[in-house]
């Protein structure tokens, strides 16, 4: 581990030199690339340097114990040794986590696609609950939510809704939301008070930059059409809605949220780019299925990951066996307890995997 840490520190020092080089400063691509690399390893280097400093202090303190000291001074030095040894343990654990390869998508914005699945109108209403929950969570994190497209129902739910959450590190926290979410509650339309079970599916995609996905304009079929609302009545007589079809992959994106065709096309391109990026990533990682299936949040998206039980005010995440009696708070966007537990479980699995290699 310490050989790796020293290599990271050496690379950090080299990056400092490179970022002071006039040739690099004048090359915006390399400047951005090296700056990001340095930023990514900065915490690891700072922790390693703190560890070395504490280690030196510990050696000095232990050396003092070999000297002739009065009883009070010896007791003080012993206390200092105990404190420094405890710091060493904490720093070593932190460094092990920092050396786990970082998901390159963690710092990205995210695109959510939520669809009402089994349960008809009740599933659509639940999709609306999830959209509100993620929007509230984003707001609490200081992130911005932008609606991309929505297909609302008459009762206030959504057959499907897509939106983007813009914020530093958004994907690192929200990537665990992929999968089927199940709700158990008595629908407002149910006169007998019988509990119904419905589901909504959630897909969370990292926003892909143009440089990351090479899309040839010739591979995209563009169609424009008039947007329509619930019931099919005309909402916009102009051809503002757009449909983009990526011919090589067969991926289709339709957007009609904006009145401007240009804005709808921009949104559609963001979604298309993210879906293509995700498809290529899934294919590239297919050979590592055993690893992917053991990692929280990267499994089959048809998998039921979480249950929201209204009668018991309970939320259960089935992947890690977590149950919290705070459904009302969680639906208000207070997701920290769930997300923190998922992150910790993911880190523990990856740390165990790295130790076994």
Are 186 and 238 found together in one domain? no
Are 314 and 262 found together in one domain? no
179: closest CA among 232, 130, 212? Answer: 130
pLDDT of 354 over the 70 cut: no
Instruction: Kindly state whether residue 62 falls inside one of the protein's structural domains.
Output: yes
Question: What is the chain's mean pLDDT, rounded?
Answer: 84
- Read off the CATH number of the domain in which 222 is found: 3.30.160.20
Please tell me the distance from the alpha carbon of residue 112 to that of residue 178, in angstroms, as a whole number.
9
98-102, 222-226, 292-296, 347-351: the lowest-pLDDT one: 292-296
Are 13 and 77 found together in one domain? yes
Please tell me the distance from the alpha carbon of residue 27 to that of residue 52, in angstroms, as a whole number.
35
Which residue, of 42, 71, 98, is where some domain finishes? 98
Are 238 and 297 found together in one domain? no
Which residue, of 65, 98, 131, is where some domain finishes? 98
Are 131 and 161 found together in one domain? yes
Are 37 and 160 found together in one domain? no
- Domain extent for 44: 2-98
Q: How many domains does the chain have?
A: 3
Q: What is the pLDDT of residue 189?
A: 64
85-94, 240-249, 291-300: the lowest-pLDDT one: 291-300
Please tell me the distance from the alpha carbon of residue 156 to that of residue 229, in angstroms, as a whole number.
13
pLDDT of 356 over the 90 cut: no
183 or 105: whose pLDDT is higher? 183
Are 116 and 168 found together in one domain? yes
pLDDT of 135 over the 50 cut: yes
Confidence of residue 234 (pLDDT cuts 50, 70, 90): very low
pLDDT of 104 over the 60 cut: yes
Q: What is the pLDDT of residue 94?
A: 85
Instruction: Kindly state whether residue 104 falls inside one of the protein's structural domains.
Output: no
Q: What is the pLDDT of residue 229?
A: 56
Q: What is the pLDDT of residue 292?
A: 38
Q: Contact 207/109 with Cβ under 8 angstroms?
A: yes
- Read off the CATH number of the domain in which 115 is found: 3.30.70.1660
Instruction: Kindly state whether residue 105 falls inside one of the protein's structural domains.
Output: no
Are 161 and 237 found together in one domain? no
126-130, 323-327, 345-349: the lowest-pLDDT one: 345-349
230 or 341: whose pLDDT is higher? 341
Confidence of residue 330 (pLDDT cuts 50, 70, 90): very high
114-118, 307-311, 325-329: the lowest-pLDDT one: 114-118
Instruction: Kindly state whether residue 80 falls inside one of the protein's structural domains.
Output: yes
Are 248 and 143 found together in one domain? no
pLDDT of 26 over the 70 cut: yes
128 or 347: whose pLDDT is higher? 128
Are 12 and 141 found together in one domain? no
Are 246 and 293 found together in one domain? no
**Cα–Cα–Cα angle for 207, 347, 9, rounded to 5 degrees:** 85
Q: What is the pLDDT of residue 338?
A: 94
pLDDT of 212 over the 70 cut: no
285-318 confidence digits (pLDDT tens): 664 444 334 434 433 445 789 999 999 999 999 9
163-203 confidence digits (pLDDT tens): 999 998 899 999 999 999 999 998 876 666 788 889 999 99
Instruction: Kindly state whether residue 103 falls inside one of the protein's structural domains.
Output: no
The whole-number average pLDDT for the span 219-235 is 66
Pairing status of strand 220-225 against strand 241-246: antiparallel
The whole-number average pLDDT for the span 211-236 is 67
Which residue, of 98, 130, 164, is where some domain finishes? 98
Instruction: Kindly state whether residue 357 falls inside one of the protein's structural domains.
Output: no
**One-character DSSP codes across 213-280:** S---GGGEEEEEE--B-GGG-BS-SSS-EEEEEETTTTEEEEE-SSS-HHHHHHHHHHHHHHHHHHHH
Are 195 and 307 found together in one domain? yes
């Amino acid at each position: 581990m310490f050989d790796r840490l020293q290599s990271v520190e050496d690379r950090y020092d080299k990056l400092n030199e490179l970022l002071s080089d006039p040739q690099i400063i004048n090359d915006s691509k390399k400047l951005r690339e090296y700056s990001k690399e340095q930023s990514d390893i900065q915490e690891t280097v700072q922790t390693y340097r703190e560890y070395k400093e504490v280690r030196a202090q510990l050696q000095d303190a232990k050396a003092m114990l070999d000297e002739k000291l009065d009883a009070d001074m010896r007791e003080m030095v012993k206390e200092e040794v105990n404190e420094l040894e405890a710091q060493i343990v904490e720093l070593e654990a932190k460094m092990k986590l920092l050396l786990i390869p970082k998901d390159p998508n963690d710092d990205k914005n995210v695109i959510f696609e939520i669809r009402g699945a089994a349960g008809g109108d009740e599933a659509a209403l639940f999709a609306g609950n999830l959209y509100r929950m993620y929007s509230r969570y984003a707001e609490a994190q200081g992130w911005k939510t932008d609606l991309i497209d929505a297909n609302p129902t008459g009762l206030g739910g959504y057959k499907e809704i897509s939106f983007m959450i813009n914020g530093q590190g958004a994907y690192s926290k929200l990537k665990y939301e992929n999968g089927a979410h199940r709700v158990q509650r008595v629908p407002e339309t149910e006169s007998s008070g019988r509990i119904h079970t419905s589901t909504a599916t959630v897909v969370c995609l990292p926003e892909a930059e143009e440089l990351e996905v090479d899309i040839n304009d010739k591979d995209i079929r563009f169609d424009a059409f008039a947007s329509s609302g619930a019931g099919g009545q005309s909402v916009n007589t102009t051809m503002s809605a757009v449909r983009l079809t990526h011919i090589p992959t067969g991926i289709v994106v339709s957007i009609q949220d904006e009145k401007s065709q240009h804005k709808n096309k921009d949104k559609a391109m963001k979604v298309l780019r993210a879906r293509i990026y995700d498809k290529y990533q899934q294919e590239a990682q297919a050979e590592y299925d055993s690893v992917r299936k053991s990692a929280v949040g990267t499994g089959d998206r048809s998998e039921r990951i979480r249950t929201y039980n209204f009668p018991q005010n309970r939320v259960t995440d089935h992947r890690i066996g977590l149950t919290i009696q705070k459904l009302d708070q969680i639906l208000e966007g207070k997701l920290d307890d769930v997300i923190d537990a998922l992150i910790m479980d993911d880190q523990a699995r990856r740390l165990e995997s790295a130790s076994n290699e």
